[in-house]
Amino acid sequence: MTASRAPAEPTVREFEATVDRVDGREVVLDETYFYPESGGQPADRGTLDGHLVDDVVERAEEVVHVLDPDADIDLVPGDEVTGLIDDAFRTYCARAHTASHVLYGAARRIADDLGYAGFDISETKVRVDLTTAEPLDDGDLIELERLANRAVWDSLPVSWATHSADEARDIDGIAFNTKTEEGAMSGDAVRVVTVGGGSAAGSDAAAGGDAAADPDADPWDVAACGGTHVENTAEIGPITVLDRSNPGEGVTRVEFAVGPTAIDQIGAVHGAALDAATTLDARVGDLPDAVSRLREETDRLEADLRDAREELLAARLREFPTVEVDGARWAIGTVDDADPNELREPATSAVGGDDDLDALAAVGTGDAPFVVVASAEDADVDAGDAVDAVTDEFGGGGGGGPTFAQGGGLDADPEAVAAWLRER
């Protein structure tokens, strides 16, 4: 078995090794510091004796280096080769992976019945899937970001150690998910990563930095994990929460960024806040109050607009010509730039008043003609029956009660419908 040494010694960027096997573009070494894609962390990038490494995978207990398709491969078993690992990408992945532990530790402090359901690193963002008793809301995201960045600022040590599976499961509060952390498992051995607290003593704990600053402190996070990590949370840099979603029942997906994407996001949010403050003639810190006042003013103006529109529609309905239909006095006409719901209040207000109007029918113009009928409570007119008669004649459908009903999807010219209502 050839396992990657990257998780135990994540700072190594150059190493010497011997070629064990070559199969086309696939090369297996006697040892390697390249990280194979696993557990949501992408494979390392780099070169092997100058050949570009296109992918690194773990297959049949071997780490397989897949070289670039255009490479002129001249390697044979027994060759001594030099591996160079892309420093920028490995550093980013180590920071991002450690940041996911820090974020999970923050979630431990705000969510009940927390569980771990998945993780993935992309070039611009990281996602962590959490199972929680209740979905996380915007306020929770803000608190997650605040707590995570506080853990970065506190410069917590990060350590890793190997335990038996039974020992790992007995560690208090450990996040242990064999389905999502296959890279942490090796036979009966489980690799455990600890953020903060005392040292996680074990075979490779010494590689994890100064993990024993306060042996009595509770750790920020403990998890079974096979990825690469930084040795101190201060190396992560700013963590910016980008979004949340719910990909499945009981699962909240939190997307966040570290590194340049996080810095750019912070700048974009700050810029947007300054623009909003300038527009509202307020300071950034006063934006919530300014937005609240603007919302109240907008609500008032919208209410005034609705009232004005209702008055305008009522005035239009009052202009409808009246006609006697089956002994009842009707007002019938067409109306444009309106929808059935807007006409309910002005139509019902128009009947049964001083004008001694028994019923009113308004036919809406436009691409989707409709009809609304309102009748006075004491009139011998059933609005629902009237709408049924219209839809029987002109198609469409609708419904309602004795005093108000509406129908849509009429296949006729609105003026023809109004004329039919007057003449029936």
Q: Mean pLDDT check: name the lowest of 92-106, 182-196, 285-299.
A: 182-196
Q: What stretches of 154-286 adopt beta strand conformation (E)?
A: 158-164, 185-186, 189-195, 221-224, 239-248, 251-258
Model pLDDT, residue 184: 54
pLDDT in tens, 279-335: 999 999 999 999 999 999 999 999 999 899 889 999 999 899 999 998 899 999 999
Whether residue 8 is predicted with pLDDT greater than 50 in this model: the reply is yes
Model pLDDT, residue 204: 45
DSSP 206: G
Whether residue 112 is predicted with pLDDT greater than 70 in this model: the reply is yes
CA 171, 175, 177, 180 torsion: positive or negative? negative
pLDDT confidence of 1, banded at 50, 70, 90? low
Beta-carbon contacts of residue 305 (< 8 Å; ≥ 6 apart): none
pLDDT confidence of 405, banded at 50, 70, 90? very high
Mean pLDDT rounded to a whole number for the chain: 89
* 3-class DSSP string for 394-421: HCCEEEECCCEEEEECCCCCHHHHHHHH
Whether residue 201 is predicted with pLDDT greater than 50 in this model: the reply is no
pLDDT in tens, 202-213: 334 333 433 334
pLDDT confidence of 12, banded at 50, 70, 90? very high
What is the mean pLDDT of the segment spanning 396-419?
93
Model pLDDT, residue 72: 86
d(CA 81, CA 83): 7
280 CB burial (10 A radius; 0-12, 13-18, 19+): middle
pLDDT in tens, 55-80: 999 998 899 999 998 888 889 999 99
Check: CB of residue 211 under 8 Å from CB of residue 198: yes
pLDDT in tens, 349-385: 999 776 789 999 999 998 889 999 999 998 989 999 9
181 or 4: whose pLDDT is higher? Answer: 4
d(CA 82, CA 273): 50
d(CA 46, CA 82): 11
Whether residue 187 is predicted with pLDDT greater than 60 in this model: the reply is no
Model pLDDT, residue 284: 92
**pTM of this structure:** 0.71
pLDDT confidence of 135, banded at 50, 70, 90? confident
298 or 188: whose pLDDT is higher? Answer: 298
Check: CB of residue 69 under 8 Å from CB of residue 83: no
